[in-house]
Amino acid sequence: MNGHPTREEDFDLYALGALEGKEKQTIESHVAQCAACSRKLAEAQGRIAMLALGAPRVEPSPGVKERLMSRLHLTAEGRAVRSPSAEPERADGFFGRWWAAMLAPATVVLVLAAFFLWTENARLDRQLADLRATVAQQQKQLEQAREIADLVEAKDTMVVTLTKQPGMPEGSARVLYNARLGTMLYDGTLAPAPADKSYQLWLVPKEGSPISAGVFNPAAGEASHMMAKMPQGMAPKAFAVTLEPAGGRPQPTGAMVLVGSVS
């Protein structure tokens, strides 16, 4: 066992007293210097202590069961070699073997139960991580909903209608923009862009170059909704949607599909 133990069940085997010799010494030496593995060992010892009150029956894990039964088998063979004589059995030897025969199946059950609990804990950890990600996503959606509400309710929010340009795909849209909040909302319908193209929304300021407000690829028959942050205080003179190479460009290069001037 070099470095960290590679099998999580080694902690449970050690807690059960099923590790011997070099394996036992190695894990003892390692946990004395490794805080993470020391915590894992303490958790294993806690699980075994709780399982002493009763263990559920579960399907054996081949890896753990094979390793433990192999160790018990080798131990039994070693005793046979050390006791070749046909001397009558002493009472303590008989009861010792009787207790070993009784404890071996119980030990296997405890190890399997500990491994089951460890697997269940890992599954619950994954579920908790998924739940946290879902909560974070919902929190993000809630914050965006609040921003939209603030934008719609603000008295200084302007509404700009974007109209289709001659020869361009059918569609229409509107933009809600608030310079004080630095927030804009696009809501429109356009035919799907060609496979190698994307639509790109632009804010055209009264001074300076157009500023990209996002790239989108609408599905057939579906409206597009897109919110974007702009520099606060920026005064626009128009909003436009252009057809650009897939992924968009830093500055407009394609034909204007929709345009709306600020009154």
What CATH number does the domain containing 248 carry? 2.60.40
Same domain, 183 and 246: yes
pLDDT of residue 59: 53
Residue 241 lies in a domain: yes
Same domain, 27 and 111: yes
CB 51 within 8 A of CB 114: yes
- Report pTM: 0.50
Decide if pLDDT at 243 tops 50: yes
Domain count within the chain: 2
Give the type of residue at 88. Answer: P
CB 258 within 8 A of CB 164: yes
pLDDT of residue 238: 95
Decide if pLDDT at 248 tops 80: yes
Same domain, 23 and 128: yes
Residue 1 lies in a domain: no
The total of other beta-carbon atoms located within 10 Å of residue 20's CB is 12
Same domain, 127 and 235: no
pLDDT of residue 85: 44
Same domain, 121 and 231: no
Percent of the chain past pLDDT 70, that is, above it, reads 72
Confidence tier at 69 by pLDDT (50, 70, 90): low
Confidence tier at 216 by pLDDT (50, 70, 90): very high
Same domain, 122 and 164: no
Give the type of residue at 263. Answer: S
Same domain, 164 and 126: no
Residue 79 lies in a domain: yes
Q: Which of 114, 132, 150 is the last residue of a domain?
A: 132
Residue 205 lies in a domain: yes
Same domain, 167 and 251: yes
pLDDT of residue 50: 64
Residue 139 lies in a domain: no
Same domain, 170 and 71: no
Same domain, 113 and 181: no
Decide if pLDDT at 185 tops 80: yes
Percent of the chain past pLDDT 90, that is, above it, reads 33
Decide if pLDDT at 104 tops 70: no
CA distance 217 to 223: 10
Same domain, 167 and 256: yes
Give the type of residue at 255. Answer: A
Beta bridge partners of 215: 200
Among the listed ranges 43-57, 76-90, 229-243, which one has the minimum average pLDDT value?
76-90
What does the pLDDT average to over 186-194? 92
pLDDT of residue 158: 93
CB 257 within 8 A of CB 235: no
pLDDT of residue 204: 95
pLDDT of residue 88: 45
Same domain, 111 and 181: no
Domain hosting 119: range is 9-132
pLDDT of residue 154: 92
